[in-house]
Amino acid sequence: MGDKASGSVSISSTKPPAILADSEHFEQQQLATSCGYSQHMQHANLGDGAATARLLSRSDWGARLPKSVEHFEGPAPYVIIHHSYMPAVCYSTPDCMKSMRDMQDFHQLERGWNDIGYSFGIGGDGMIYTGRGFNVIGAHAPKYNDKSVGIVLIGDWRTELPPKQMLDAAKNLIAFGVFKGYIDPAYKLLGHRQVRDTECPGGRLFAEISGWPHFTHLNATEGSTPVPIEPHAHPQAASQTPLQLPPQSPPHAPAAAPKV
Ligand SMILES: [Zn+2]
């Protein structure tokens, strides 16, 4: 039985992942992605049989052109997982395409960024949507934007687990990135919350990816390093405003009475 016939998800770096079933199209797809933003990329089949997952191009979801594109040298040593919080989970491809457009609108028009912040989006339809793509500097995780692949699982995953097709698509995308040399075979998998003050990717999803290969615990010092205050790539839940700390009394000496 060849690899092509295998329906299992492999994230080995030595064996082609299941998503490579249509490798010829992949070559075309990835060449276009790595060179910037072709608006005429072809569909690529990312799976086999009924569980087919596909990598959709920017033109598929109607992306606006980026204001500019900056590349970094690969392979990326980090993969960072996000949830979108908003938009909510989408289950049809037209809805997920709209979600990608909404996120691009938010990042590009409201935040003023070059493009949608993420490298890739994953829909509840099990499809993979090209964001900035591989080896393009993102806007999703300060200090990691020039050395990571940022993958957003569209939806709010604080208490619910994303459906299996979403998780499989994310794993397949990572495996594909490793196989193609865009992601370091010794990559570290992180949740967004490990590198900044955010609940992202949601508690339930974070618990899930904590069990995936290559998940890495950052030490407390590294994980709590202050980062520049800049807008998040995704909206925050109302309860997640850790930057708004309540006033604190000085650790020593009572606070001086205000002079009036
Ligand atoms: Zn995030």
Kindly report the average pLDDT of the chain as a whole number. Answer: 79
Residue 192 Cα to ligand 1 midpoint, Å, equals 5
What band does 254 get if pLDDT is binned at 50, 70 and 90?
very low
Give the separation between CA 151 and CA 184, rounded to whole angstroms.
16
Residue 34 is assigned to a structural domain of this protein: yes
Single out the residue of 166, 165, 137 nearest to residue 154, CA to CA. Answer: 166
pLDDT per residue over 92-127, tens digit each?
A: 999 999 999 999 999 999 999 999 999 999 999 999
Residue 210 Cα to ligand 1 midpoint, Å, equals 15
Measured torsion, CA atoms of residues 243, 67, 31, 2, in degrees rounded to the nearest 10: 40
Residue 154 is assigned to a structural domain of this protein: yes
Residue 189 is assigned to a structural domain of this protein: yes
Confidence check: pLDDT of 249 > 50 = no
Q: What is the total count of domains within the chain?
A: 1
Residue 185 is assigned to a structural domain of this protein: yes
Residue 255 Cα to ligand 1 midpoint, Å, equals 38
Single out the residue of 182, 33, 56, 44 nearest to residue 123, CA to CA. Answer: 56
- Contact residues for 95 (Cβ-Cβ < 8 A; gap 6+): 123, 125
Q: Which domain holds residue 199?
A: 11-62+72-223
Q: What is the DSSP string of 81-129?
A: EEE-SSSPP--SHHHHHHHHHHHHIIIIIIS--SS-S-SEEE-TTS-EE
**Residue 81 β-bridge partners:** 151, 191
Residue 198 Cα to ligand 1 midpoint, Å, equals 7
**CATH code at 152?**
3.40.80.10
Residue 50 is assigned to a structural domain of this protein: yes
pLDDT of residue 228: 62
Residue 201 Cα to ligand 1 midpoint, Å, equals 6
Rounded average pLDDT over 139-158: 97
Residue 86 Cα to ligand 1 midpoint, Å, equals 11
**Residue 71 β-bridge partners:** 136
